[in-house]
Structure 1
Amino acid sequence: MYCEECKVRPATVHLTQIINGQTMQTHLCEQCAAKKGASMFNLNIEPGFSIPNLLGTLFGNVYNMQEVSTPAVLSTTCPNCGMSFERIRQTGKLGCSECYSAFARELEPTLRRVHGNSQHIGKIPKRGGGKVMLKKKIEELKSRLQKAVAREEYEKAAEIRDEIKRLEKEME
């Protein structure tokens, strides 16, 4: 899909406006979005504005506030793809799925701040969503059961076990 303004570059910014119950969608490239954003909201957007730069600053600001930006942290690399944390801060993009594990300590505060949680929950489909919810609840209870057993809270563990059995019967 091409930009609706210039009709040359691919549309990478998708705006949805709802005014008096009517939905209007606009698909723009980064350059046209920056121009439109400046005129729509009277913003002074820098010429170097881009979504990756925006994401990169989210990672950078957390570390400036917490003073964790040590050279050792910035120079560590993902063992799978070789991406450095410094590069992640610059681009706002991770190199591979292993980057989440390699930089877990560094990414955790940013993910919590941006998403409100550091664990992906995802959307639940309307059809069949009940089973998905039950599965997630059972997984959570199994995790709580293991923790209760580790803390030697056997009465609590028995309650959790019974709840798991009840939910598993509902699944059938």
Structure 2
Amino acid sequence: MKCELCNNEATVFYTQAVQGGQKKICLCESCAEERGLTDPGAFSMVDILMDEIPQQAQQSAVAEVAEQCSHCGFTIEDYRKVGRLGCSQCYTAFRGEIVPVLAKMHQGVKHQGKVPSGMAESIEARQKLENLKEELQQAIDDEKFEEAAKIRDSIKKLELE
């Protein structure tokens, strides 16, 4: 595993209990020492992650952030204080503040999901088949019958596999 702050090899795995849930962070030894991980009372994951965002990025992010979620009333100060959000709409309201933290915490902000082992090929083949059927319909609509025949043959071959 990689350190979530500097991408060196992680050797320290810290789990913090937060209101019935858990937050985990993987750090290399030097990042853990720099941030006082040896003194658990002084360690706050939110503070560490916020310190890693350059000051200029924090200021521009704050400019894009709503002061309060229109759905639940949670404020940006509430988020900064407790390190969690009030509702799902807070993600949109506080996007400028949250995206940089999520990117640092999860190595990206787009959820890819997981695929059970052995299913990836099946899912990929199904998606390819759907795309070919759409291409076939478009070729027929455009009266490109030679192209449509080739696509039809590709579909049949894929369905046999």
TM range (shorter): 0.3 to 0.5
TM-score, length of structure 1 as denominator length? 0.43
Higher relative contact order (CA 8 A, sep 6+): 2
Bigger Rg over Cα: 2
